[in-house]
Amino acid sequence: MGLMDWAKSQFIEIIEWLDDTRDTMVYRFPVHSNEIKNGAKLIVREGQAAVFVLQGKIADVMAPGTYTIDGKNTPILSTILGWKYGFASPFKSEVYFVATREFTGMKWGTQNPIMMRDQDFGIVRLRAFGSYAFQVTDPGLFLKDIVGTDGLYETDKLSDYLRDMLLQSFAQALGTAKIPALDLAANYRNLGTSLTKDITADFASHGLTLTHFIISNISVPPEVEAALDKRSEMGALGDLNKFTQFQVANAITEAAKQPGGMAGMGMGMGAGMGMGGMMVNQMNQAAYAAQQPPPAAAPVAAAAVSAGDDVMARLGQLKKLLDAGLIEKAEFDEKKKDLLSKL
């Protein structure tokens, strides 16, 4: 290599950054041992900005475009360099490329539950998570305030700090909105829009802009979810009597799955009327209470008719249990015989 070739290799002639990542925010062009040649080409692509740092100070911020580095189109550089080096000599400078595109898919979530006073449930603990997007809108301020001299700055170095800012504002927005827990899902978009506006100043103080804030889910504790599920079941059943019947039917099904069938629970259906009889009585309690005995000429006749209806109703319920496979045929016959003997 000749002397001229060696000298030429020391001077940077093209300054550019081809970003093949999705999380790099700032990249320092490698000029530690090299000098930038006066007249060199600077290529700043869309979604980028180039920041020149001279003698520890920000000298100029270049928007997307192609530039020739001299005193004609870099006025701040010319004021710093012209008096010392002249425009015919190379100069040393740090060049930082700052990504100004939108960084999307950033995650946020509550590490600890947020306490909120709710009109339906009293004090509840809420957890939430979602995503957000932001971009650098003031490259010089961001470089000075956040990056410093870091030659490669990526989103993971900033994500915890931004998440903490977002969670603080989210908790405040959630508390002041006073939206019932049952109505939060219908207000995700409104909450996100409100928070985006409220936190604008916090992000702007670092040269950033919050472009989107998305709430994916706000959840209540498991015990509140269980209460909501139970309330939904009762609402579907309509009244307490039907709810009691529903609970009893579930108990019969679970008992049949146990070793020994229905006899595996409590005293067993084979002892007296047994649990099966008690369950049948409970399932029909509301119906018996609502029934009125038919008109009769004498109290004795009315009592006989009522007793007959009661026996027939119990036989019908036992038949349903037999058909469903919840009791054995022998047990059905025994209960049937016992009931018929009371007529």
pTM over 0.75: no
Query: What is the rounded CA–CA span in Å between residue 148 and residue 158?
Result: 13
Cβ contacts of residue 97 below 8 Å, gap of 6+?
17, 19, 26, 27, 28, 29, 44, 48, 49, 50, 51
Domain extents in the chain = 8-99, 103-138+151-223, 238-340
103-138+151-223 domain in CATH 3.30.479.30? Answer: yes
pLDDT in tens, the chain (343 residues): 444 444 444 556 789 999 988 899 999 998 655 577 777 889 999 999 999 988 888 888 999 999 887 655 555 555 555 444 444 556 677 899 999 999 999 999 998 888 888 887 788 889 999 999 999 999 999 999 999 989 999 999 999 999 999 999 898 888 888 888 878 888 898 888 888 888 888 999 999 999 999 999 988 878 777 777 776 666 665 555 665 666 666 676 666 666 655 555 444 444 434 444 555 455 455 445 545 555 544 444 445 456 666 777 777 777 877 777 667 788 778 877 877 776 6
Q: What single-letter amino acid sits at 188?
A: Y
- Tell which residue, 270, 292, 283, has the closest CA to residue 320: 283
Asked if 314 and 323 count as a contact pair (C-beta separation under 8 A), the reply is no
Instruction: Report the Cα 48 to chain-centroid distance in Å.
Output: 32
